[in-house]
Every structure is written in structure tokens, then in C-alpha cells.
Amino acid sequence: MLTKRIIPCLDIKEGRTVKGTNFVNLRDAGDAVELADLYAKSGADELVFLDITATVDGRKTLLELVNKVAHTINIPFTVGGGISSVADVSALLNAGADKISINSSAVKNPELITELAQEFGSQCIVVAIDTRHVEGKKHVVHTRGGRTPTDKETISWAKEVEERGAGEILLTSMDADGTKDGFALELTSTISRNAGIPIIASGGAGNMEHFFDVFTTGYADAGLAASIFHFKEIGIPDLKTFLKDKGVSMRL
């Protein structure tokens, strides 16, 4: 079994880390640089930084903050929010990001995935998929920070982004987000088992068993969470030891 990854996520709004439920009711969760430093020192395998209002506000990701975080930590660092061009990606990589995450811009212009993969290599292109189950339909892709439903069905879109050159998928269940009731295991499993690239599962983590479930039943390559780490409900060293003891391959 390949080593599984634990990834804290910093959702950034106006320079601060925030966390909500089902993508709304945001509350402050602390200073982004301080949290990043804490996670790097406590054994996180990677860090994801999402400027969650950049697309909606029609602006670029906060480069200065990205630079500060990158100079504070020594683990791989993925940045997303407001990215829509080669120039945007170049600026973020130069600021210290290791990977970039695109969502709304990829849905709007799928060719962008291919363009970025060819320019920078698939290994640093993550496509984020925010998905919600819509009544009478299957899981539907949403954009603009989860605000706007699209005509794209989640499972087929996941296959398309892989074919277009994405190196990784960040799959967030909006239905599970912030609920702490567990990851969307059935959807995660369907996508993971049919993908040739790593799948990061996001949305719903509430306890250590949820991570075990998403790695074993959901076949995810990485588990991402925010509030349970930000508010110190679960410690990353304790989580990794728990998973290792249950037979999950972890880097301690």
C-alpha cells in the first residue's frame, strides 16, 4: 500500500483562516502563517491554501501571504483561488507554492488544464472539484466557491480532468463539508477506483475513524481536513499513530 497523506487545509478570506459548514457560516480560525508553521512541525504531509473568495471577488490569490507561508514551512504546499492563466501559476510557483489548484477556471475553460500541465508538468497541477448531490440528478460540480451549480456531472468531470493532464484531484463533498459526519465514501471510492492519479478526499472529517474509512473504504490517497485541526479536536501526530496502528501506511 502506498503511504497515505494527511493534509490540513487553510481556507483564507481577507488574509485570515476561516472555516464554515457546507461552505457557509464562516468563522475565524486563526493566523494562516502561524497555523501553517504549526502543521508543518506537527507532521502534516502537505498543506493546502485556498483563497476562497478570490474568484468571487474577481481578484488574484494573495501572493504576499503565499510567500510568507512558503518561507515558513518545509512541506509541499498547494495554493488555489483566482487562478486562470499561465502567468498566475508562474507567479504562485515563484512565490513558493509547490502545486496549484484550479476549479472554476478549469470548468469554464477545460483546455486550461492541458495548457498548464504542458507548461509546468502534471505533478504540480491539482484540479479541485466541489460537488453536491442535486435532487433528481447525480453529483454535480459547483464553482465560484460552491456558489454556482454547473452542468457537469462529477464522476465524468473527474475522468476528463485526468485525461486533460491533471496530476491530482482534490474532491470536496459540499454535502459533508463541516458536518463532521464522515467523508463521502461512496463517491470518493467510485472516483478513486477509476482514477490513475491521486485523489485527495475533503469534507466531513470528524474523528480518526473517518480517516481510516476514507483510506480503506474510499480508496483515497490523502485525507484533507480543516476545523478538526484548526480547533485542536484531533492532533496530527495522534491521528497518524492511530492509522499506522490500524495498518494504514503512514509517514511518521
Closest CA to 149 of 175, 169, 170, 167: 175
In this structure, the chain runs to a length of: 252
Annotated catalytic residue: which of 45, 88, 130, 213?
130
Work out the end-to-end distance of the chain between its first and last CA atoms, rounded to an integer number of angstroms. 15
When computed from its CA atoms, the radius of gyration of the chain, rounded to whole angstroms, is: 16
The C-alpha atoms of residue 155 and residue 180 are separated, in whole angstroms, by 23
The type of residue at 20 is G
b/e burial code for range 54-93 (CB count within 10 A of at least 16 → b): bbeeeebbbbebbebbbebbebbbbbbbbbbeeebbebbb
Residue with cell 504562485: 92
CB atoms within 10 A of CB 207: 16
**Residue 228, phi then psi, degrees to nearest 5:** -65, -25
* Cβ pair 187, 171 in contact under 8 A: yes
Residue with cell 483515497: 220
Beta carbons within 8 Å of 9's beta carbon, 6+ residues apart: 47, 48, 49, 50, 202, 224, 225, 226
Check if 130 is active-site. Answer: yes
Nearest-10 crossing angle of helices 63-70, 86-95 = 40
* Cβ pair 236, 43 in contact under 8 A: yes
Check if 213 is active-site. Answer: no
Annotated catalytic residue: which of 11, 51, 88, 221?
11
Active site residues: 11, 130
